A and B are shown apart, each in its own frame.
Chain A
Amino acid sequence: MRTLDQTTQEVVDLASKHFNVPVGSLAPSDDFFKKLGIDSLQALELLSRLENHFGIELPDYEVQGVSDFRTLAERIQSRL
């Protein structure tokens, strides 16, 4: 079972790969919309990637209003 820190790091790593941003420039508390320069649709694309990676289904409502990596990781963690 992953810890929340591990999940968070995996979320950050995946976002960095998906949007081609250096992983060192991203922190768990970062606002991913701002830091990655993405819109709400691109955030949904990222969610799909995360679902495949973690093997879970994350309904849209679960991530409503979420904009930082740490909270996103918490939502994922609760479904692992």
Chain B
Amino acid sequence: MLDLSKYPSIGAALKDALNAFSGETCLIEADREREKERLTYKDFQDRAHPLARALQDSGFAAGDRASIIMTNQSKWLISAYSIFFTGGTLVPLDYKLTAAEHWQLLRHSGAKVLVTEYPIWRQLAGSPERPSADNVNLVLVTEAPPNADLQGAQRWEEFRKSGEPVFVARERNDIACIVYSSGTGGRPKGCMMTHENYLEQCVALTSLYPFWPGVRYLSILPTNHAIDFMVGFFGPFTCGACVVHLRTLRPEFVREAFPKYKITYVSLVPLVLKNLQKGLQARFDQLPSGKHKIFNFLVAVNKAFTKSKPRLGLSRKLLGQIHANFGGELRAIIVGGAFTEPQTLQFFYDLGIPVANGYGLTEAGTAITVNDLNPFRADTVGKPLPGMQIKIVDPAEDGVGEVCVRSKTIMSGYLNDPELTAEAFSDGWLKTGDLGRIDATGHLILSGRKKNMIVTEEGKNIYPEDIEAVFESLPVKEFCVFAANYVWPKRSMAGEQLVLALHLENGQSYTDALRNDVIARNNRLLNYKRVHGVVLLDEDFPRTASLKIKRNILAERLAQLDRASAILPL
């Protein structure tokens, strides 16, 4: 079992790992079917140290913040390690945000350094928001074309200095990362994650899903995401395993990567898992009748033998062709970031491919519960990880209440926001805002949300407050965005949508012109952030003395309407 107890920081643990596994392969990077590079831990160190030294020479010091906005690739991890090596705090941002959102979070985080890719920098540099984040005084850009106008940035590939960098020690309670769980359009929620949070989470997760030299993890989820940061960087690196980056998410290249690189683990969001299921099911449906019967028989045999626990060797023999398509070495698909339908999980498990579904939130440091496969349960999100305490607060008769958690992996608070931090905790317990119950076997079963937000199948958290700005100056009396399941609570995590509540002016009606205006504004949002429909309410919205909408009371009023007929689709 992995022991990180002697390490005070991520940087210290990684530094030792780079030395201990120097000859092992740590990274493979491919661009579609073309392998671009393959690095050993020694190669990785040789790339990172000159960067760390250059950062130090530029004045970057302990506690300084550096942001990374990049797609998954080797330079992401090399940059992150250099930042930790020099005692810095990493601010990983989602590369899919808009330039304005990036600058907003860069300003809020106080980052001094930004590491990004040229196509992203083109967008950022041309944004009118750029001057608002004057705290960013060094920008490093990767893969810029030879004659590119860098607009004040420096080339990542040339930003290096000779001479050994000085390793800067950090304490367990120092902030390792500031990870934004939301707030791109409203109040930023920058989760301050300590070194201890990551060290403890890494030990807990690898106790169930271990890494070792030779293990290959296919990194598809963005590395800024808590799951990929842990199981696509810190976890495998501390154990000497290898991370494979693809530089594309095209399904055909992802499928090819499994057999080509003999993948051991992969993390997927439910959307991608369902897509894989759809592809496989279509192939099964095309089997001639005789073969189909044999296939069904083999699946039934596999199900019978794996009821109590996975038997990978047996499953690979029984359903060899399927496992060969996945490379024959796949031990588990880790799925998270959003609710996954039980039938999708069961589909893969019945084929002998364990799916490690779990539950977590950024504030809790990756995962709170994970399926331990002992036995596999598709109807739950698993049991609490070692060191994780869960309690259900104010349970109803059926045992469902708010899930609260306490552990060494929980964030220390939201950056620059003591008020939000205080709201998030109660007596040291993190209030998740999710509803659930714990069954007799200790498994957590989620059944809805208490908070006004949704999580998309792509694993994106969307808070209504964050997207309301796009509807400012809409010609109506007032408006407010809600998660439909918050207004009309359902004992389910499926089918989450956002709705726009409108109160029209006296005598105004919901015309095609108004609807088109709503659609045009909605389309300015990234596709996964858009509202699904409009709800009309013919009364003044309740407001506080400072004229803020009382969302909870407004939600109660909207709840009096019939959900199906009240939501007018866009």
List chain A positions with a Cβ less than 8 A from chain B.
31, 33-34, 39-41, 44-45, 47-48, 57, 59-62, 64-65, 67-68
Contacts and interface: CB of A to CB of B under 8 A. Distances in A.
B250 A40 contact: no
A40 B184 CA distance: 20
B1 to A, nearest CB: 37
Contact of A44 (B98, B251, B528, B530): B251
Given A61-B117, A62-B119, A64-B119, A39 B523 contact: no
Contacts of A44: 249-251
A48 B250 contact: yes
Contacts, number: 49
B95 A64 contact: yes
Interface string B389-411: 00000000000000000000000
Contacts of A59: 119, 247-248
Interface string B89-107: 0000001101000000000
B527 interface: yes
Given A40-B271, A64-B96, A33 B527 contact: yes
Contact of A65 (B248, B457, B526): B526
B249 A67 contact: no
Contacts of B247: 59-60
B182 interface: no
Interface centre among B32, B120, B275, B458 (most CB of A within 10 A): B275
Contacts of B251: 41, 44-45
Contacts of A31: 523, 527
A39 B250 contact: no
Nearest to B253: A48
B: contact size bracket:
20 to 34
B458 A40 contact: yes
B252 A41 contact: no
Contacts of B526: 65
21 contacts: A31-B527, A39-B271, A39-B457, A39-B458, A40-B271, A40-B458, A41-B249, A41-B251, A41-B271, A41-B275, A44-B249, A44-B250, A45-B251, A48-B250, A48-B252, A57-B32, A59-B119, A60-B249, A61-B71, A65-B526, A68-B523
Contact of B528 (A40, A48, A68): A40
B517 to A, nearest CB: 15
A64 B247 CA distance: 13
A67 B526 CA distance: 8
Given A45-B250, A61-B71, 20 more contacts: A31-B523, A34-B523, A34-B527, A39-B458, A40-B528, A41-B251, A41-B275, A44-B249, A45-B251, A48-B252, A59-B248, A60-B248, A60-B249, A61-B117, A61-B119, A64-B95, A64-B119, A65-B96, A65-B98, A67-B523
Nearest to B527: A33
B71 A60 contact: yes
B494 interface: no
B125 interface: no
Interface in B280-295: none
B272 interface: yes
B527 A67 contact: yes
Contacts of A68: 523
A34 B458 CA distance: 16
A40 B119 CA distance: 20
Interface string B523-543: 100111010000000000000
A57 B248 CA distance: 12
When A and B form their complex, which 7 residue pairs have the shortest distance between CB atoms, in order from nearest? A33-B527, A61-B119, A41-B275, A31-B523, A44-B250, A60-B248, A67-B527
A47 B250 contact: yes
A48 B457 CA distance: 22
A31 B98 CA distance: 17
Nearest to A42: B275
A50 to B, nearest CB: 12
Nearest to B71: A61
Nearest to B570: A34
Contacts of B272: 41
Nearest to A40: B458
Interface string B238-249: 000000000111
Contacts of A67: 523, 527
Contacts of A60: 71, 247-250
A45 B252 CA distance: 8
Nearest to B70: A61
Interface in B96-138: 96, 98, 117, 119-120
Nearest to B118: A61
Contacts of B98: 65
A63 B487 CA distance: 35
Interface string B66-89: 000001000000000000000000
A37 B569 CA distance: 13
B277 to A, nearest CB: 12
A59 B71 CA distance: 12
Interface centre among B249, B250, B252, B530 (most CB of A within 10 A): B250
B515 to A, nearest CB: 13
A47 B528 CA distance: 18
A16 B490 CA distance: 36
A67 B96 CA distance: 13
A31 B520 CA distance: 10
Interface in B209-259: 247-252
A3 to B, nearest CB: 25
A46 to B, nearest CB: 11
Nearest to B525: A67
Nearest to A32: B527
Contacts of B527: 31, 33-34, 40, 67
A39 B251 CA distance: 13
B352 to A, nearest CB: 24
Contacts of A65: 96, 98, 526
